[in-house]
Amino acid sequence: MSAGLLFDAPGPKARARYRVLTVIGIVLALGAAYWVVRTFASKDQLTADKWKPFLTADAWSQYLLIGLWHTIEAALVSIALASVFGLLLGVGRLSENTPIRWLSSTVVEVFRSVPVLIMMIFAFGAYTSYGVFRDDLNPLAAVVTGLTLYNGSVIAELVRSGVHGLPKGQREAGVSIGLTAAQTMRAILLPQAITAMLPAFIGQLVVILKDSALGTIITYDELLSWSRSLGSAYANTIPAYIVAALLFIAINFSLTLLARKVQERLSRRGRALPDGDGAPGAGVTTGVVGTVATAPPST
C-alpha cells in the first residue's frame, strides 16, 4: 500500500513549514548540546586528565570489565529463563484447554503490565526476607526474576502472534495427515513461528541488556554501578558514565545488526527456495519461515 493512500501528500506550504520546524529542532538540539558540554567543561569533567584513567589497565580490569561481565551474566541467565518461560506461556495461550489458556493469558497480561523495576524490588525484598538465596546472590536473583517475568511475557506474545500469523491451512494440513492438535503445534506450527520471530526475539535481547542496569537500585553491581565506583575513585564521574554508555551502545548496536542480518537471511531464503517439489501426495513446502506441511490431495 502506498503512502498516498494513507494520507495526502504535503503541499508547498506544508513542506515549507516542515523545513522551518526541522531547522528549529536542530537549533534547539545544538543549543542543548552546547549547554551540556559547557556545563561539564566548567566542572572540569572534560579535561584530558579525566580521560587518562581509561588508557590504563586498572580502570578496565578493576572496574569496567567486572561491571560489564555482571551485566552480561544477568542478561544471559535472564535470556535463557525468559525463553523457556515465554515459550511455555505462548503455547499455553494457544492451548485448546480453556483453564490453561486463561491462566497463561492472565500471567502474561499481569507481568507485562508491572514495571520491571517494581518486580525486581519485590523479588529482592522477598529473597532477602525469607533467605531464598545467599546474601551475595539475592541482587542477581532479583534482577533475573524481574527480567525473566517481563520479557518472558513479551516472548509469549511473540510466539502467539507468530503462530497466528501462519496460514490457517497449516493447522488443517497437519490434522488431515493424521496429527493431533498437539503434534501439529509441536511439529509444524511452532518451528515456523519461532523461526519467523527470530529478528523480534533478538531485538528483545537489547531490552533485556538495557534493563539489567535497573539492578543498580537493588545493589546489583552491574556496569552502571562499577562506572559510578570508577568515577568516585578517579574523580571523573561524567567520563565514566560516558564510557559506560558507549559500551552499552556498542553491545546493543551489535545485537541490532545481528537482528538485521537474521531478517535479511530469512528474506533471502524465502526468495531463493522453491515453493514445493510438485510431487503428488503429502509434501513439504520450504519458505521464509521454515518447513510447511501440505495435505495429500483428496481422492
- Residue spans of the chain under pLDDT 50: 1-4, 271-299
C-alpha R_g of the chain: 25
pLDDT at 32: 92
Residues 201-233: pLDDT tens digits? Answer: 888 888 899 899 999 999 999 999 999 999 999
- Let me know if 247 is exposed, middle or buried by CB neighbors in 10 A (0-12, 13-18, 19+): middle
Say how far apart CA 175 and CA 270 lie, in whole Å.
25
Would you call 153 helix, strand, or coil by DSSP?
helix
Q: Beta strands 290-294 and 283-287: pairing type?
A: antiparallel
Taking alpha carbons only, the member of 294, 105, 86 closest to residue 200 is 86
| Helix, strand, coil percentages in the chain from 3-state DSSP, rounded to 5 | 75, 5, 20
Distances (CA, A) of 156 to 22, 47, 74, 108: 40, 48, 20, 7
pLDDT at 164: 79
pLDDT at 271: 46
The full set of domains in the chain, from first to last, is 52-273+281-294 (1.10.3720.10)
Say how far apart CA 285 and CA 298 lie, in whole Å.
18
Say how far apart CA 29 and CA 21 lie, in whole Å.
12
Taking alpha carbons only, the member of 131, 133, 124 closest to residue 218 is 124
| 148 close to 207: Cβ distance less than 8 angstroms | no
pLDDT at 166: 77
Tell me the whole-structure pTM to 2 decimals: 0.76
pLDDT at 63: 94
